[in-house]
Amino acid sequence: MTRVVVVVALILGVCSPNLAVEPILCQADADGHLQGFDSDGEFIYWSIFTNLVKTDYSGNVIAQRSVDPHHGDCCVHDGKVYVATENRTKEKRGLYVNVYDCRDLSPVKEFAIDFEHRGIDGITFANGFFYVGEGKDKSSEQEFNWIHKFTPDFVHVAKIKIPGKTIYGIQAMTFADGYFWLGTYGKERTYQCDAQLNIIAYHTVDASVGVFGLPKSKSGETRLMVARNVKKDNGRWTAKAAPAALRSGKLEWEK
């Protein structure tokens, strides 16, 4: 996922996303839980397992489309939504990055990804390259994770080792305020990394199902929008999101 710059005319009485403190509840749902989300500064794009959803910052649905399970983390770049997909259908079983038009979520293209059948997880765009997390088995004792670096046309450039024992690998990621933020199912929930993906801090705020950057606070604090899953009474899933801020080196909920 990528950092966004939000511009909203406050004179219209609209609460700008960079000032919002109340949780946003996505008004769409799916058969499985949220895998990741991102924003272009005006809309939010939610990848909810079998449903790709575009909402405003109040959670109202602008567009949605059914997608193959399971569509994973996503990021927005150059007017398109890129989704890390572990397709489980019989016809297309495999790993892909699926690309959709931000305007109406219509499919644009897809890129086949080869991670030696190990799964695919987080995705973000930073400094001219895509970064994609390689999944791993739930029972894996591997004490590290892999992130792969790709050109915009998904030509492989590098494979980067990220220390840490996690379940399934790096689940969600974004690049915000000069740092990579990696959401995991590990003991240290969220890794803060420098621009070379060296870990510099761990945080307990759980960004494993979605995270993207927000403009800094008035006092200059780094801010992230962080998602949480919501299971409905009918057994289906949706999600909500709220801002977190980096204060004295610690990521914590704004409210």
DSSP state of 142: -
Q: Beta strands 237-247 and 223-231: pairing type?
A: antiparallel
Tell me, what's the pLDDT at 11? 28
Structural domains of the chain ordered from first start = 22-253 (2.120.10.10)
Structure tokens at 66: 């059914």
10 φ/ψ angles, rounded to the nearest 5 degrees: -65, -25
Which strands make up the sheet holding 129-134, listed edge to edge? Answer: 120-126, 129-134, 144-150, 156-163
Q: Beta strands 94-101 and 80-87: pairing type?
A: antiparallel
Tell me, what's the pLDDT at 12? 32
Structure tokens at 38: 């991102």
| SS3 label, residue 12 | helix
pTM of the model: 0.92
Rounded-to-integer distance, Cα 63 and Cα 89, Å = 24
Per-residue pLDDT tens, the chain, 255 aa: give them.
554 434 333 323 344 555 555 689 999 999 999 999 999 999 999 999 999 999 999 999 999 999 999 999 999 999 999 999 999 999 999 999 999 999 999 999 999 999 976 899 999 999 999 999 999 888 888 899 999 999 999 999 999 999 999 999 999 999 999 999 999 997 789 999 999 999 999 999 999 999 999 999 999 999 999 999 999 999 999 999 999 999 999 999 997
Tell me, what's the pLDDT at 9? 31
